[in-house]
A and B are shown apart, each in its own frame.
Chain A
Amino acid sequence: MPDVNLPTLLRQHAGGQRSVRVEGATIGEILASLQDEYPGMAGQLVTADGELHKFVNVYLNDDDVRYIDKLDTKVYEGDTISILPAVAGGSL
């Protein structure tokens, strides 16, 4: 199972853990497993339409999965997945 590094905001739903391990052969399956394992994360990672939430960035090792195959990006043993919030705002 790959390691999934969680942002501060989501750690509260995983007992405070910074990193967890869940099953999945793709990023979509990993995120689904996360939400199944930690129900508090439901709705924060994937939208109701099954798309990666726009305020979440997911990295497979060093690569943004949006530039690979999005939720269909394949995941292998030894991979590290990092979930980070999109940080944005402005005076507008």
Chain B
Amino acid sequence: MACSQLDEMIAHCLGSYPEEGCGLITGDPSTATVAAVHPTTNRAASAQVYTVDPGEYLRIDRAVEAGGQSVIGVFHSHTRTDPYPSPTDVAQAPDPSWHYVIVSLRHEVASVRSYRIADGLVREESIDFSLVSD
């Protein structure tokens, strides 16, 4: 992903604090190249759980599908814990092909990690950053 996209995710999560921030990640599923991040409303409006607004998901999905891309992941913040999937994250992970990015605001400097979650198993993956968007 582009550094600017990372900045956008972190900024949205900081702006959502003290509630968890969340959003969708779209791009090319075959290459896992991120085209855009899409901050969304957290319908749960909670500091401990998030729910991506389904109406916003629908609009994002329609827009990117029309351009031949797909939703390839989701990002959300952990306001007080480390950037690792909680049991809630694992249980509710909707799609094993997605990338699950967690932004931790536990410390002064935000930390970001990405994971694949499938069949209850969590595997961390590296994020390759570029200076420009594709």
Measuring CB to CB, which residues of chain A are less than 8 angstroms from any residue of chain B? 5, 7-9, 18, 55, 57, 59, 62, 64, 82, 84-92
* A85–B51 touching, CB < 8 Å: no
Decide if B29 is an interface residue (CB 8 Å cutoff): yes
* Contact flag A8-B97 (CB < 8 Å), given A84-B57, A88-B92: yes
* A89–B95 touching, CB < 8 Å: no
Which of A8, A84, A88, A91 makes the CB contact (< 8 A) with B58?
Answer: A84
The 4 closest A-B pairs by CB, nearest first: A90-B49, A85-B94, A87-B52, A92-B48
Interface centre among B48, B92, B96 (most CB of A within 10 A): B92
Decide if B76 is an interface residue (CB 8 Å cutoff): yes
* A87–B61 touching, CB < 8 Å: no
Min CB gap B5→A, angstroms: 18
Min CB gap A83→B, angstroms: 10
Please, which residues of chain A bring their CB within 8 A of the CB of B98?
A: 8
Decide if B67 is an interface residue (CB 8 Å cutoff): no
Please, which residues of chain B bring their CB within 8 A of the CB of A18?
A: 65
* B71–A90 touching, CB < 8 Å: no
Please, which residues of chain B bring their CB within 8 A of the CB of A55?
A: 92, 94
Please, which residues of chain B bring their CB within 8 A of the CB of A91?
A: 20, 48-49, 78-81, 86, 88-89
Min CB gap B80→A, angstroms: 7
Min CB gap B130→A, angstroms: 24
What 7 additional pairs, Cβ within 8 angstroms, besides A5-B65, A9-B96, A90-B88? A8-B71, A55-B92, A59-B54, A88-B51, A89-B76, A89-B88, A92-B48
